[in-house]
């Protein structure tokens, strides 16, 4: 059409007829409009086929850099109460899933409130989406005990198993039927770091040049951990809380604790007394101004077939108050339970 229009335009220049001249003007105008339309079509097509501008990639989030102490160590100090409701193990039906649904979270919180309302001396702690403290093995369950450990623990107390605070309901012959916590001695490590449960869940971290200090409100534990590279004490020196040694790996404090006494109880692990082979590796990392990541790997080849690891997401609470846990001074429970058991036996003998 364009070639025909141009030919007509050329012909219009060679004639003097008014009609022809008028026709030539019309054709010239038509040609201009057609050329403009063609140009617009080309521009639209080019716009449609042009590659879309690439979106700018989001800059990777930098890990949190904690403040430093005056002597240059990452500052982990503060009050980090275990005010979280996360059980040690998750239900077997969860498999490797370690996050609660909205419905599961609401149900766990409901059960916790009912437990508090129906109990004594129990504080309420809100639930967390983390399904279990144990994160390894991936199913969130304690690994199997060795055959020897299962036999040894199963035979304790004439087949009743290891002593525990709840176990005195089955037998309370003497103080040996109580666990270390029931006797106000210790919750053990890592029992002292477990969140939730009953009350007095305060934890405080203090630091000094060459030292890291952890205070646990429950059973008034205080661990003073050297950071100067000194070796562990000799194998003959043992204690309920073990012998800790720490070092920094970047912004993470790593604490290795060994030298535990044999047959030590670990609060929260009621089915076994542990052996002197127990070794615990803890990792403390401040991941935000108000968040402390705590991971502990427990290794006892005399008890379990493999190590296991738990994770606690502690939150800072500067308003928390640590109170004196005067357990021994007010431990009427132990003597009263023994008296009650003797009274029950006497009453049964009279029948």
Give the pLDDT confidence of 162-181 residue by residue, as tens digits: 998 888 888 999 999 999 88
User: For position 327, what pLDDT does the model report?
Assistant: 84
pLDDT band with cut points at 50, 70 and 90 for residue 333: confident
Residue 236 sits in which domain range?
78-341
Higher per-residue pLDDT: 16 or 158: 158
Determine the Cα–Cα distance for residues 85 and 102; give it in Å rounded to an integer.
15
pLDDT in tens, 253-263: 999 999 999 99
**76: closest CA among 311, 288, 319?**
288
Do residues 129 and 25 share a domain? no
Instruction: Report how far residue 177's alpha carbon sits from residue 69's, in angstroms, rounded to the nearest whole number.
Output: 46
Q: Is the distance from CB of 197 to CB of 86 less than 8 angstroms?
A: no
Can you tell me the distance from the alpha carbon of 78 to that of 76, in angstroms, rounded to the nearest whole number? 7
Please list, in sequence order, all residues whose beta carbon lies within 8 angstroms of the beta carbon of residue 247, skipping any fewer than 6 positions away: 227, 229, 253, 254
Q: Are residues 199 and 144 in the same domain?
A: yes
Residue 348 domain-assigned?
no
Q: What percent of the chain has pLDDT over 90?
A: 64
Rounded-to-integer distance, Cα 157 and Cα 204, Å:
37
Q: Determine, yes or no, domain membership for 183.
A: yes
Same-domain pairing of 101 and 242: yes
Q: Of 39-48, 214-223, 224-233, 245-254, which range is least confident?
A: 39-48
Task: Examine the domain organization and report whether 85 and 34 are in the same domain.
Answer: no
Q: How many domains does the chain have?
A: 2
112 and 162 together in one domain: yes
Rounded to the nearest 5 degrees, what angle is found at the Cα of 145, between the Cα atoms of 142 and 146?
Answer: 150
pLDDT at position 271, please?
80
What is the three-class DSSP state of 45? helix
Nearest to 256 by CA among 267, 268, 270, 242: 242
Is residue 55 in a domain?
no
DSSP 14: T
Looking at residue 17, what is its pLDDT?
45
28 in the same domain as 94: no
């Amino acid at each position: 059409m364009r070639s025909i229009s141009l030919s007509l335009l050329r012909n219009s220049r060679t004639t003097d007829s008014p009609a022809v001249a008028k026709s030539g003007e019309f054709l010239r105008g038509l040609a201009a409009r057609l050329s403009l339309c063609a140009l617009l079509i080309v521009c639209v097509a080019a716009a449609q086929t042009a590659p879309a501008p690439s979106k700018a990639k989001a800059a990777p989030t930098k890990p949190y850099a904690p403040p430093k102490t005056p002597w240059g160590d990452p500052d982990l100090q503060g009050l980090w109460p275990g005010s979280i409701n996360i059980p040690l193990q998750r239900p077997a039906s969860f498999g490797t899933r370690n996050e609660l649904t909205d419905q599961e979270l609401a149900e766990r919180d409901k059960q916790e409130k009912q437990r508090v309302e129906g109990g004594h001396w129990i504080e309420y702690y809100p639930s967390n989406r983390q399904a279990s403290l144990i994160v390894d093995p991936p199913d969130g369950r304690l690994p199997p005990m060795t055959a020897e450990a299962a036999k040894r623990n199963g035979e304790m107390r004439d087949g009743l198993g290891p002593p525990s605070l709840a176990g005195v309901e089955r037998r309370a012959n003497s103080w040996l039927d109580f666990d270390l916590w029931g006797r106000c001695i210790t919750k053990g490590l890592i029992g002292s770091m477990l969140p939730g449960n009953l009350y007095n869940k305060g934890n405080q971290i203090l630091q000094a040049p060459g030292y890291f200090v952890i205070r646990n409100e429950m059973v008034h534990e205080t661990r003073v951990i050297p950071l100067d590279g000194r070796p562990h004490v000799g194998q003959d020196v043992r204690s309920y809380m073990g012998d800790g040694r720490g070092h920094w790996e970047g912004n993470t404090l790593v604490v290795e604790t060994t030298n535990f006494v044999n047959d030590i109880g670990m609060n929260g692990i009621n089915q076994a007394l542990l052996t002197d082979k127990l070794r615990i590796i803890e990792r403390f990392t401040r991941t935000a101004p108000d968040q402390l990541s705590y991971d502990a790997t427990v290794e006892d080849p005399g008890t379990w077939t493999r190590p296991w690891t738990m994770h606690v997401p502690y939150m800072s609470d500067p308003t928390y108050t640590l109170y004196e846990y005067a357990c021994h001074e007010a431990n009427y429970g132990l003597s009263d339970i023994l008296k009650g058991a003797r009274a029950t036996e006497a009453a049964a003998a009279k029948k």
